[in-house]
Amino acid sequence: MEPTLRAATLDDMPRLQQIVREVWAIGSDFTLEEKYGSVGDEAWDRWLVPKVMSRLWDEIGTTLVAEVGGEIAGFISYAIDRARRVGTIHYNAVAPAFQGHGVGTMQVERVLEIFREQGMRIACVGTGLNEGHAPARRMYEKAGFEPVIEYRMYARELD
């Protein structure tokens, strides 16, 4: 079945939260836990999921969901800075069962269309440099994005 896109609704939030838990075990919160053990005496998703969901609640008007056969397969959120004419993709996620079928690419292509329609001059997106983010980097590069700056997070245990 071909994926379709639509505006996110408040009723979508439980499924979006489920997708966040399923796919974000590649980010900094997860990596800190892998290296140092439980941070804050709770699992990584205890800290990450509320941060992501809070932003998605704030950006409900600029969040799209992808559906395949009536099931939410992924989502993408974005922001538009009209003064600078810069559009930024914030979150882009595809549930594991739907990865590798063009859902993420479709989400990005639609947001790029929105940016063009809104008169944006530049589109930006950030992603990790670790192996878990490699598929995202490949997808963004295929969509014409190019690296502008590299970022590295440093951490250390305190004595």
Mean pLDDT value across residues 126-137: 87
> How many CB atoms are located within 10 Å of the residue 153 CB?
11
Q: CA-based Rg of the chain, rounded to a whole angstrom?
A: 16
Kindly tell me if the per-residue pLDDT of 151 is higher than 90: no
The backbone torsions φ and ψ at residue 56, rounded to the nearest 5 degrees and listed phi first, read -65, -40
CB 111 within 8 A of CB 64: yes
Which is nearest to 74 in space by CA: 83, 87, 82, 65? Answer: 65
Mind listing the pLDDT tens digit for each residue in 28-75? 777 777 778 777 777 777 777 888 889 999 999 999 999 999 999 999
Task: For residue 7, list its beta bridge partners.
Answer: 64
CA distances to 32, 57, 120, 153, 157 from 77, rounded to whole Å, are 25, 10, 16, 23, 34
Residue 118 has pLDDT above 90, yes or no: yes
Domain regions of the chain by residue span: 4-142
The CA distance from 85 to 115, in Å, is: 9
Q: What is the pLDDT of residues 75-117, one digit of tens each?
A: 999 999 999 999 999 999 999 999 999 999 999 999 999 999 9
Class of domain 4-142 as given by CATH: alpha beta
pLDDT at 153: 80
Cβ proximity of 55 and 90 under 8 Å: yes
Long-range contacts of 128-134 (CB under 8 A, 24+ apart): 128/26, 128/27, 128/28, 130/26, 130/31, 132/25, 132/26, 132/27, 133/26
How many CA atoms lie within 13 Å of 53's alpha carbon, on the beta-carbon side?
Answer: 17
The enclosing H or E element of 57 equals helix 44-58
